[in-house]
Amino acid sequence: MCGIAGYIGPRNGVEVVYDQLKRLEYRGYDSAGIAYPQNDRIEIVKRAGKLTELQKLLDEAPRDSRIAIAHSRWATHGGPTNENAHPHFDRLERIAVIHNGIIENYLDLREELLAKGHTFKSQTDTEVAAHVIGEEYTEGTPLEEAVRKGVQRLRGAYAMVVVSKLEPDKIVAARNASPLILGIGIDENMLASDIPALLPYTREVVILEEDTIATLTRQSVHITDLDGRELPLEPIHIDWDIAAAERGGYEHFMLKEIHEQPQVLRQALAGRIDEKNRVRLEQVFSEHVWTEIDRVNIIACGTAYHAGLMGKHLFEKLLRLPTDVYFSSEFRYGDPVLSPKSLAIFVSQSGETADTLAALRLCKSRRIRTLGVVNVIGSSIARECDRTIFTQAGPEISVASTKAYTAQVTVLTLLAMYIAQVQEMPGVRVSDAVAELVALSEKAEVCLKLEEQMIKLADKYKSMPLCFFLGRGADASVALEGALKLKEIAYIPTQESPAGEMKHGPLALVQPGVVAIFGSTDSETRDKVVSNMKEVQARGGTVIAIVTEDDAVTERAADEVIRIPHSKMDFLNALLTIIPMQLFAYHVARLKGCEIDQPRNLAKSVTVE
Ligand code: G6P
């Protein structure tokens, strides 16, 4: 996600915040900027591109200030341009604001402000937030009070930092959902979105709680809640080295990203669901288009392809819309038959995968409607698709994809629900389904608590010669992704297929020592899956079953049982099983001493054909 930095103290604040942004570079960004109060005004220096571009501006005119805030942006609302880069001014240019997260009601607020005569220089939700806080910054209102009132008009996730030319001796920050860390120094104080940015300056930090406001001066730090009540300041001492701090204290980025999934599930829905649990995806084609489409082709590679398979289940089951899923490399050379009324969906984390991009260009040359489900804004696939829905998962650094997968499936689910809503599909209660989707984030938190159990299982089975991943329906699609995780990072051979296909060949590979992981979350096929488990056990294989907490049948058949929380939508239960599978793969690889974040022979973004 984006990076935030802020400093107040005796040093040159501009240099400090620039250095802090450099320490957050590993998270990925596409523009950057700095604001500092000086001579009764606020100076803003910002630029699209890497920090070196910003450095050129700073070299042209060196800046010096005892107080500064800075931001590196990973575009969400509006492309990566100079105008969209943070900081943003309020209407009267008295305050400058930087922000991480997504303001869900920014379109409504923007309209409200436009009607009052406000004008905006950018397409960002952040500039809208700056104008909202600016409106509250009336004469006699202290900055922290204006921020407190302003953020209460915002809905969504934010970590927000504000400086004012009228009160140039303080930085005010507000936090809800997006992380914000205060660094407590001697005669200086600072803040950042992530601990590594602070470590060269202080090791005493305060992790700001949700719904709090912090006011930093050179000599003091005050934290209050949204009602203005003072909260205690309780710094913790950080003794991680800088490399560990970049991973948020986790041993690897992969583990950090696995643990980010509850937040990612929330982010993927942010701004896309209204109070009545209706889906808002208005920017994605006009409504009549969705009633015209007669067929969907989902085209992707690797993990994104597996997410596409999950999409097919929903599009066909929920919408009765014929859907095919293709590997990009096969699609582009396969002379596909394309109905002129079809929709081609391109799923890609990076937005740069060469085969997916080539398949997209093929569809465009055939004048087929194209829709991207992409994580990286400004990427080639996002730019070239007719429309794109961003997965909003934040930068994914580990080669083995985890959080991008859950975000891709979530967005495809949301899209299916949106189409059901537009088409007024009989028998589909969109608001009930959306409520289940919203509840998924908390269930993902519960799945992460399975880690101790997965460590024990990883330890017990780490020497297995072969691991099967099996299931039926949506569980069979997740099985492919679970198997990919284990093979790509732990180098253990896997055999993945629908459980019903076992006896047509793969069963010949089962012998003592072989492990079979079954996802079994669909009550309709439960008995059949239990029979398949028995087939594995009868040949000496070990069965690990991942089931929902209400399943009292499968536990009697399996050797090991992993229980996940139950959702009323079977499909979402299947999606959740990926979390224990990811943890299992991760811990097997760790216990085997494998290079986890950069497995041998593989690359994060495959830009060659
Ligand atoms: C590579 C990565 C995978 C990813 C695949 C597709 O193989 O290692 O994690 O799923 O490319 O990448 P994309 O960026 O298009 O999702």
The domain locations on the chain are: 3-243, 247-438, 448-595
Q: Which of 254, 605, 608 to mutate to test the pocket of ligand 1 (most atoms within 8 A of CB)?
A: 605
User: How many angstroms separate the CA atoms of 517 and 496, rounded?
Assistant: 10
Contact 232, 563 (CB under 8 A): no
pTM over 0.85: no
What is the whole-number distance in angstroms between the Cα of residue 354 and the centre of ligand 1? 10
> What pLDDT sits at residue 607?
66
Task: Check if 494 has its Cβ closer than 6 Å to any atom of ligand 1.
Answer: no
Q: Which residues are catalytic?
A: 2, 604
Query: Does the pLDDT at position 323 exceed 90?
Result: yes
Residues 6+ apart with CB under 8 A from 505: none
Q: How many CA atoms lie within 13 A of 30 on its CB side?
A: 17
β-strands 387-390, 369-374 pairing: parallel
Task: Check if 350 has its Cβ closer than 6 Å to any atom of ligand 1.
Answer: yes
Task: Check if 604 has its Cβ closer than 6 Å to any atom of ligand 1.
Answer: yes
Task: Check if 399 has its Cβ closer than 6 Å to any atom of ligand 1.
Answer: yes
Closest ligand 1 atom to 401 CA: 9
Q: Which residue has the higher pLDDT, 26 or 217?
A: 217
Task: Check if 408 has its Cβ closer than 6 Å to any atom of ligand 1.
Answer: no
> What pLDDT sits at residue 327?
97
370 burial level (CB within 10 Å; 0-12, 13-18, 19+): buried
Identify the sign of the CA torsion 193, 194, 195, 199.
Answer: negative
Q: What is the mean pLDDT of residues 280-295?
A: 88
Class of domain 247-438: alpha beta
Q: Do 247-438 and 448-595 share a fold?
A: yes
> What pLDDT sits at residue 397?
86
What is the whole-number distance in angstroms between the Cα of residue 316 and the centre of ligand 1? 25
Task: Check if 573 has its Cβ closer than 6 Å to any atom of ligand 1.
Answer: no
User: How many angstroms separate the CA atoms of 521 and 544, rounded?
Assistant: 13
pLDDT tier for residue 279 given thresholds of 50, 70 and 90: very high
Closest C-alpha among 32, 71, 74 to residue 53: 32
Query: Does the pLDDT at position 27 exceed 80?
Result: no
User: How many angstroms separate the CA atoms of 31 and 52, rounded?
Assistant: 10
User: How many angstroms separate the CA atoms of 400 and 381, rounded?
Assistant: 20
> What pLDDT sits at residue 609?
60
Q: Is the peptide bond before 87 cis (omega within 30 degrees of 0)?
A: yes
Q: Which of 257, 301, 327 to mutate to test the pocket of ligand 1 (most atoms within 8 A of CB)?
A: 301
CATH 3.60.20.10 fits 3-243, yes or no: yes
* Proportion of the chain above pLDDT 90, given as a percent: 78
Task: Check if 398 has its Cβ closer than 6 Å to any atom of ligand 1.
Answer: no
Query: 463: how many CB neighbours lie within 10 A of its CB?
Result: 11
Q: What is the mean pLDDT of residues 289-298?
A: 93
| Encoded tokens for 189 | 């104080």
> What pLDDT sits at residue 10?
97
Closest ligand 1 atom to 301 CA: 6
- Measure Cα distances from 241 to 4, 250, 397 in Å: 20, 12, 19
Query: Does the pLDDT at position 1 exceed 60?
Result: no
Query: Does the pLDDT at position 388 exceed 90?
Result: yes
> What pLDDT sits at residue 77?
77
| Encoded tokens for 89 | 């001014």
Q: What is the CATH topology of the domain spanning 448-595?
A: Rossmann fold (3.40.50)
Longest CA pairwise span in the chain (Å):
81
pLDDT tens-place string over residues 59-104: 998 898 999 999 999 887 788 899 999 999 999 999 999 998 889 8
Residue with tokens 């560990």: 244
Task: List the residue whose alpha carbon is closest to atom 9 of ligand 1.
Answer: 401
> What pLDDT sits at residue 104?
87
Identify the sign of the CA torsion 343, 344, 349, 352.
Answer: negative
* Proportion of the chain above pLDDT 70, given as a percent: 99
Query: Does the pLDDT at position 403 exceed 60?
Result: yes
pLDDT tens-place string over residues 153-194: 999 878 999 999 999 999 999 998 777 999 999 999 999 998
What is the whole-number distance in angstroms between the Cα of residue 298 and the centre of ligand 1? 15
What is the whole-number distance in angstroms between the Cα of residue 444 and the centre of ligand 1? 23
Contact 408, 350 (CB under 8 A): no
pLDDT tier for residue 561 given thresholds of 50, 70 and 90: very high
| Encoded tokens for 180 | 């914000």
Closest ligand 1 atom to 376 CA: 14
Give, as one character, the DSSP assignment of residue 200. Answer: T
Query: 538: how many CB neighbours lie within 10 A of its CB?
Result: 10
- Measure Cα distances from 3 to 35, 178, 281, 397 in Å: 14, 11, 27, 15
Task: Check if 606 has its Cβ closer than 6 Å to any atom of ligand 1.
Answer: yes
Q: What is the mean pLDDT of residues 472-494?
A: 97
Q: What is the mean pLDDT of residues 490-502?
A: 96
Q: How far apart are the first and last CA of the chain?
A: 29
Task: Check if 392 has its Cβ closer than 6 Å to any atom of ligand 1.
Answer: no
Closest C-alpha among 321, 318, 316, 315 to residue 295: 321
Task: Check if 308 has its Cβ closer than 6 Å to any atom of ligand 1.
Answer: no
Task: Check if 304 has its Cβ closer than 6 Å to any atom of ligand 1.
Answer: yes
- Measure Cα distances from 561 to 416, 426, 582 in Å: 32, 37, 16
Q: What is the mean pLDDT of residues 556-571?
A: 94
Query: Does the pLDDT at position 204 exceed 70?
Result: yes
> What pLDDT sits at residue 380?
85
Closest ligand 1 atom to 328 CA: 15
What is the whole-number distance in angstroms between the Cα of residue 349 and the centre of ligand 1? 7
Closest ligand 1 atom to 488 CA: 8
What is the whole-number distance in angstroms between the Cα of residue 603 and the centre of ligand 1? 8
Query: 65: how many CB neighbours lie within 10 A of its CB?
Result: 21
Identify the sign of the CA torsion 498, 501, 503, 509.
Answer: negative
- Measure Cα distances from 505 to 66, 260, 401, 496, 542 in Å: 71, 38, 29, 12, 18
